[in-house]
């Protein structure tokens, strides 16, 4: 595949300058210019000229360009190819005109160097062949002290950062402790999270041991992505909505706080969960300067629950993008109206773009946000 976008050997800057080098035209350092990007100012709840917009899973199967890449390489082959992974995201940013690039990766590769036998099976999604089902199994999950096996992820961060204008922040990410624990225990996705909740309720000490190990790994992983050049990071708790607020407080909150704490001292952290709006105040308590909101609650109500001392991200239902363009425009404007111009809103979907989504509807959403 041709590579019109990236240099052959990705470096922290295409110009070869230090990230702190001064720009001769305006006297601003690269770091200063990046800090003034639209999305970064929204994370800090500063007034912005318009609402920034990016989309979860914005580089994905709904794009013909992405499908052409996937004809040549399987999913993990793409994830572990820094040049190609960066090219996919950079091309997507150019195609859509969004205000941020999230690195092209997945939640689960962090589990491989921790001892999990991970496979992305065609038609089945992620499968872990050696799940943790009993308290003694927790000892099989290695402490992630050496991130060298995940160097390819940091190379993706560097290559993505090198290929973008300073006005486009690069977002790193990781799965949250509960979601990663759920995959480790279930061996894949689940509707009821039967094995996960059983271990959690029956063997609380083993549960907290497991969550401690994962939280420490996630913390190191997020910080490493910031060191590699990401300007902010997002923590995805995709499955925690299956819990009640009391269970979240007892079994999850302290571990999510551990996962976020070190990264939050360095950069904005977006803390995102789906499935249960009642958890929103607890997500804010666990940490994050930006709280991601799914579509199951009005944005204005969610912001009151989170607290107006936090920025929020969201929250259009991804299925709206399967409707007609007038509906996309109307629903997008409704979300913007819920934010009411308050500083600190980042427009996004309430979850990732669905593979069946027409590209023209995505472009309509982005144009609506930019023109509002």
Q: Indicate which CATH number applies to the domain containing 358.
A: 3.20.20.210
Residues with Cβ < 8 Å from 248, sequence gap 6 or more?
A: 240, 279, 282
342 classed as catalytic: no
Task: Let me know if residue 72 belongs to a domain.
Answer: yes
Q: Position of tokens 């990230």?
A: 19
Task: Let me know if residue 17 belongs to a domain.
Answer: no
213 classed as catalytic: no
**Ramachandran region of residue 288, left (φ > 0), alpha (ψ -120 to 50) or beta?**
left
**In tens digits, what is the pLDDT along the chain, a chain of 372 residues?**
333 333 333 333 333 333 334 444 455 789 899 999 999 999 999 999 999 999 999 999 999 999 999 999 999 999 999 999 999 999 999 999 999 999 999 999 999 999 999 999 877 789 999 999 999 999 999 999 999 999 999 999 999 999 999 999 999 999 999 999 999 999 999 989 999 999 999 999 999 999 999 999 999 999 999 999 999 999 999 999 999 999 999 999 999 999 999 999 999 999 999 999 999 999 999 999 999 999 999 999 999 999 999 999 999 999 999 999 999 999 999 999 999 999 999 999 999 999 999 999 999 999 999 999
61 classed as catalytic: yes
Q: d(Cα 58, Cα 89) in Å, to the nearest integer?
A: 8
Task: Let me know if residue 279 belongs to a domain.
Answer: yes
Beta-carbon neighbour count of residue 203 at 10 Å? 16
Task: Let me know if residue 125 belongs to a domain.
Answer: yes
| Sheet containing 269-273, strands listed edge to edge, beginning at the edge strand earlier in sequence | 101-102, 170-175, 232-237, 269-273, 290-292, 311-316, 345-349
Q: Which of 70, 257, 296, 342 is catalytic?
A: 70
Q: Which of 106, 137, 247, 317 is catalytic?
A: 106
161 classed as catalytic: no
Count up the domains in the chain and report the number: 1
Q: d(Cα 255, Cα 357) in Å, to the nearest integer?
A: 35
296 classed as catalytic: no
Q: Which of 33, 44, 50, 61 is catalytic?
A: 61
Task: Let me know if residue 21 belongs to a domain.
Answer: no
Task: Let me know if residue 8 belongs to a domain.
Answer: no
Task: Let me know if residue 139 belongs to a domain.
Answer: yes
Range of the domain at 195: 30-371
Task: Let me know if residue 22 belongs to a domain.
Answer: no
Q: d(Cα 91, Cα 341) in Å, to the nearest integer?
A: 30
Sign of CA dihedral 77, 140, 184, 137: positive
């Amino acid at each position: 595949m041709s590579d019109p976008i990236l240099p052959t050997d990705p470096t922290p800057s295409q110009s070869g300058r230090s990230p702190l080098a001064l720009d001769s035209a305006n006297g601003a350092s690269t770091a200063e210019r990046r800090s003034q990007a639209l999305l970064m100012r929204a994370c800090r709840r500063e007034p912005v000229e318009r609402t920034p917009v990016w989309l979860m899973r914005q580089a994905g199967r709904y794009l013909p360009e992405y499908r052409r890449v996937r004809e040549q390489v399987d999913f993990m082959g793409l994830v572990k190819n820094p040049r190609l992974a960066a090219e996919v995201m950079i091309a997507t940013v150019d195609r859509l005109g969004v205000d941020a690039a999230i690195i092209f990766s997945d939640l689960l590769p962090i589990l491989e160097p921790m001892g999990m036998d991970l496979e992305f099976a065609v038609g089945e999604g992620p499968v872990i062949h050696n799940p943790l089902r009993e308290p003694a199994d927790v000892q099989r999950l290695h402490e992630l002290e050496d991130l060298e096996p995940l160097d390819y992820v940091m190379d993706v961060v560097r290559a993505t950062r090198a290929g973008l204008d300073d006005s486009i922040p690069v977002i790193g990410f990781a799965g949250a402790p509960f979601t990663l624990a759920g995959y480790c225990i279930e061996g894949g996705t689940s509707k009821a999270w039967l094995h996960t909740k059983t271990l959690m309720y029956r063997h609380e000490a083993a549960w907290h041991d497991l969550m401690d190990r994962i939280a420490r790994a996630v913390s190191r992983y997020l910080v490493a992505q910031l060191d590699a050049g990401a300007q902010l990071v997002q923590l995805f708790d995709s499955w925690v909505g299956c819990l009640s607020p009391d269970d979240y407080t007892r079994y999850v909150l302290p571990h999510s706080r551990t996962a976020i704490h070190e990264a939050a001292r360095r950069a904005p952290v977006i803390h995102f969960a789906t499935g249960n709006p009642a958890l929103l105040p607890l997500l804010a308590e666990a940490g994050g300067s930006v709280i991601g909101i799914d579509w199951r609650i009005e944005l204005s109500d969610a912001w009151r629950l989170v607290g107006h001392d936090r920025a929020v991200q969201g929250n259009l239902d991804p299925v709206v993008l399967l409707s007609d363009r007038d509906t996309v425009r109307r629903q997008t404007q409704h979300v913007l109206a819920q934010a009411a111009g308050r500083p600190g809103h980042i427009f996004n979907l309430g979850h990732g773009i669905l593979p069946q989504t027409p590209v023209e509807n995505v472009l309509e959403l982005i144009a609506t946000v930019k023109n509002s």
